[in-house]
Amino acid sequence: MPDEPDGANLDGHHAMHLETGVALINALTGEHVHGRRKASLAGHDLVRATAEALGENGQVDLLAAERLRDLASRLREVLEALSLGEHDDAAGLLNRMLDDSRARPYLHRHGDRSWHLYFHSPEAGLVQQWTAGLAVSVAAAFGDHLPHRVGLCAAPRCDQVYIDASQAQIKRFCGLACQNRVKAAAYRARGRHSAP
């Protein structure tokens, strides 16, 4: 069988979970974004940011948001280890996360809809659902896919994480705001050095 590019075997469900995991990490953890210090989230702001990252309108309460922030911190540790090339450390962190999540395959359907594979029981609460689903999706991508596609923004004062879905795998920044900020700083520095 011919070699497929990294990411080609990752199904849409796991890819969607990875994107949601990155959104959760960036919304709830880290100290800087785009060169600015992030505000500390608490109370209603934490609930709102969590719900927005997960797309769970009205289903997140404060306790769930706090537990999901802990999950985001653990995911950040895994992705940071991967971005530093510390794959064994990342695997150990992820194995503990899988164990703690009690993830297990489970077929379930709602009413007459088709059967779907979940990694939590039908009775699981919101936090358990996301913990198991994100842990399994990161694990599914871990082998050949994720280590080469995850990164921390290279811009100063930005600690956002990203997944690089490009063919070239040359992404270095979390987005255009940081990329433009770094380019503008380099341009200004060149101007200062070339001035008489």
Nearest-angstrom CA–CA distance, 175 and 155? 10
Question: Would you list the domain boundaries of the chain?
Answer: 12-194
Give residue-wise pLDDT tens across range 132-179.
999 998 888 887 667 778 889 999 999 999 988 777 778 889 989 999
Pick the CATH number of 12-194 from 1.10.3300.10, 3.40.50.410, 3.40.630.30, 1.10.1740.10: 1.10.3300.10
- pTM, two decimal places: 0.84
The three-class DSSP label of residue 35 is: coil
Q: Considering only residues 109 and 4, tell me which one the structure prediction assigns the higher pLDDT.
A: 109
Q: Considering only residues 46 and 111, tell me which one the structure prediction assigns the higher pLDDT.
A: 46
Give residue-wise pLDDT tens across range 33-91.
988 999 999 999 999 999 999 998 778 999 999 999 999 999 999 999 988 889 999 99
Here the contacts of 158-161 (C-beta below 8 Å, separation 24 or greater) are 158/32, 158/33, 158/34, 158/35, 159/30, 159/31, 159/32, 159/33, 160/26, 160/30, 160/33, 160/34, 161/22, 161/25, 161/26, 161/76, 161/79, 161/80, 161/83
